[in-house]
Structure 1
């Protein structure tokens, strides 16, 4: 089971590390390995959330997610996105940005450092919206009741998450952004940059959310149509083109999943800048990590882990909220990436432990109920 699910990840790891050695020796080997671990630790929440969507897909589309989907994730978000960041902040073309990364690494590093407040504001607002929309949603299963129940009631207020996110952005721009670090340790006013980048992150989230909702609605329409045609086929005895409809439904779900997956990759990409500014090493390290995250997603689905450990999704979203706050703080203050990764791991581990305790308590109650039933039958 493990080899079948993680086989491609193991193969990509070997190839990626060999490529790193040929590219820049054993130092590059170490950097790629660190970036891969960083991506896995920061994106475990990604795997948990993705698994909730992927479990509705059959084995064929799970395989597509691990092959075609990983190309989109690696080359789109892990390779193109860092170059786009530099191109936008330096107001140059993407080809110039690539040339700069290879031929003038010091200048490239300076541009990336200067762009960090904008990157942190954009990514922080995007991830904060993911967390707020989750925490304000009313759900049957709650983990931390003392906070989730009241917030779910507050969530009935329209656009509350957007309003809170804007307040957080204003506070960040009036505190951290006023003394953001520029290259060379110089303090500069980055208030307008942070505001614009934060609003852009908010708009991007709303657009992605709308696009995801569109795909989800199309999926529901396909499922309803398929159900109606199944009933019609049962009445008339005719066969319906079930494969085509199932394929369409799965295709829309795949697109929906890719949109979500792209949205979660911001944290890993942004965090990678603290380790290396070399776009080749970033692509190799984050690509390896992305492959493991995807394999882990499939593993969670096939093992039924999310159904067995119901608080994992909560822990993943709390980790996203913590990461959003950390990103906004890093506009001014440096925070070690180890701390960032550990925060997510601790929250998810806590949610896993809570899930285990819940399962044991339910099993004990079921055992007591069974014993009482036997006692009644004996009497």
Structure 2
């Protein structure tokens, strides 16, 4: 299973390293490797969250995520989007922005001799806008999760009271707006722009997540209707009820029921699948913003960034996502999802703070790793304790923490 899932990641990595070497020699190859490792190590929480969403999608949309999605991740989020940001921030058209990126000032200076700002400087100057948008989108994701009641709790002292508080309508929106107002008024130099960008992030989350939920609910209603029809047909075939379907073929109906049919776990298709896919892509963008800007601490070459962060990093993150789904890792290690969401909450907080205070990207990455690692260890301890009592971890509610 490992090879079948990660095969294309290995192939893409090999090709990317060759291209990097041909493009810029040994130094470009080394930088590409560093960026790839950085993206993979800092994006494990992204993979866990992706897996929780991907397992709700049909096989078709899972394949779209691995094919079309990777193109969007590499060229859209890691190459085109930074160019668009520079275009909007500096008034340069995309071609001029790309030329600026490919021809930085000598010695890594922030400005050219004629006073023009470098591509890196323009992108860094746009960080408050990016951070407000991405931070609010991720904060809405975290709050929407933490304000919901669930069977398993990890940090119970926090999660249970917050779940009770979530019974208040629109609690996630209320908290997000308060955070955005405080940050825009205290940390932002351009409060109006930051406020607008943050509101866009909130609105986009509500729109994409809401539409996905709406179409999923409609699909589940259709499946429930089909289940009812099967039940009635089975009842008629058994002689207990023939009024609703007197012509039902008992063998055909029973065969459909045994095969699972509509009684299996509903996975999103059609419009529901599309909006879940769109949700994943926006989520990936929110995760990648900070990584792209942080990559400039290593290199300002957009081609190397696209190869390292995009082709190598993003491909491995996607393969890891599929691996988690196919192996059922989230069901076995029940606290991983919790750790990933708390890591997202921490990332959202860091993005908002970074609007006015520089935060080293290493801190961001270490926090995510710490939450995921702690959640994994808690899951292992839970599973050992349950197995020692002769219980199956997959079917037993989480112990209190």
TM range (shorter): 0.7 to 0.9
Question: Residues 264 and 38 from structure 1, CA distance in 2 versus in 1: closer, same or farther, beyond 3 angstroms?
Answer: farther
1:20 pairs with 2:39: no
340, 352, 362: which one pairs with 1:328? 352
Residue 312 of structure 2 is aligned to residue 267 of structure 1: no
- Counterpart-to-counterpart distance in 1, 2:29 and 2:173: 42
Question: Which secondary structure state, in structure 1, belongs to the residue aligned with residue 359 of structure 2?
Answer: coil
Q: Which moved more, 1:62-71 or 1:3-12?
A: 62-71
- Cα distance, 1:45 vs. partner? 1.7
Q: Secondary structure at the match of 1:109?
A: helix
Q: 1:230 to 1:132 in 2, by over 3 A?
A: same
| Root-mean-square deviation (Å) | 2.9
1:274 aligned counterpart, secondary structure:
helix
Q: Which residue of 2 aligns with 1:290?
A: 314
Deviation of 1:293 after TM superposition, in Å, equals: 1.1
Matched residue SS, 2:278: helix
Question: How far did residue 114 of structure 1 move?
Answer: 1.2
Tell me the equivalent position of 1:169: 180
Judge conservation of contact 1:50–1:260 (CA < 8 Å) in 2: no
What residue in structure 2 maps to residue 107 of structure 1? 118
Per mean C-alpha deviation after superposition, the further-off stretch among 314-323 and 9-18 is 9-18
CA contact (8 A) 1:46 1:261 kept: no
Match of 1:314 among 333, 338, 344: 338
Bigger Cα displacement from structure 2, 213-222 vs 260-269:
213-222
Q: 1:248 to 1:216 in 2, by over 3 A?
A: closer
3-state SS in 2 of match to 1:142: coil
Contact 2:208 2:275 in 1 (8 A): no
Alpha carbons 2:58, 2:273 under 8 Å: kept: no
The match for 1:47 is 47
Residues 38 and 272, structure 1, Cα contact 8 Å, conserved in 2: no
Whether contact under 8 Å (1:125, 1:198) holds in the other structure is: yes
1:158 and 1:59 mapped to 2: Cα distance?
34
Give distance in 2, aligned partners of 1:229 and 1:59.
Answer: 25
Q: CA deviation at 1:227?
A: 3.4
**Change beyond 3 A, Cα 1:114–1:69:** closer
CA distance in 2, matches of 1:360, 1:254: 36
Cα pair 2:330 2:336 within 8 Å, conserved: yes
Q: Which residue number corresponds to residue 83 of structure 2?
A: 83
Q: Distance in 1 between matches of 2:385 and 2:267?
A: 42
Displacement of 1:153:
0.5
| Partners of 2:232 and 2:25 in 1: CA distance | 64
Aligned length: 355
Q: CA deviation at 1:138?
A: 0.9
CA distance in 2, matches of 1:279, 1:221: 47
Q: Please give the alpha-carbon distance, in whole angstroms, between the structure 1 residues aligned to 2:327 and 2:12.
A: 23
Note if contact 1:43-1:264 (Cα within 8 Å) is conserved in structure 2: no
Q: Secondary structure at the match of 1:366?
A: coil
Aligned to 2:69: 69
How far apart are the structure 1 equivalents of 2:7 and 2:87?
Answer: 36
Q: In the alignment, which residue of structure 1 is the partner of 2:388? A: 364
SS of 2:372 mapped into structure 1:
helix
Who is 1:193 aligned against? 193
Distance 2:301 2:287 in 1: 17
- Conserved 8 A contact 1:316-1:344: yes
Structure 2 unmatched runs, 5+: 106-116, 238-247, 392-401
Question: What residue number does 1:255 align with?
Answer: 274
Q: Shift in Å at residue 154 of structure 1?
A: 0.4
Bigger mean CA deviation after superposition, 200-209 or 160-169:
200-209
- In the alignment, is residue 302 of structure 1 matched against residue 326 of structure 2? yes
1:135 partnered with 2:146: yes
TM-score with structure 2 setting the length? 0.80
Q: Going by fraction, where is helix more abundant, 1 or 2?
A: 1
**What's the CA shift string for 1:326-369, capped at 9, x where partnerless?**
112222222222221111011001001111111112122237xx
2:57, 2:276 within 8 Å by CA — same for their partners in 1? no
Is the 1:5–1:299 contact (alpha carbons within 8 Å) kept by the matching residues of 2?
yes
Give, in whole Å, the separation in 1 of the partners of 2:229 and 2:97.
53
Greater shift in the superposed pair: 314-323 or 84-93: 84-93
Measure how far apart 1:64 and its partner are. Answer: 4.1
For residues 220-239 of structure 1, the aligned pairs below 5 Å read 220-224=220-224, 226-227=226-227, 230=230, 236-237=248-249
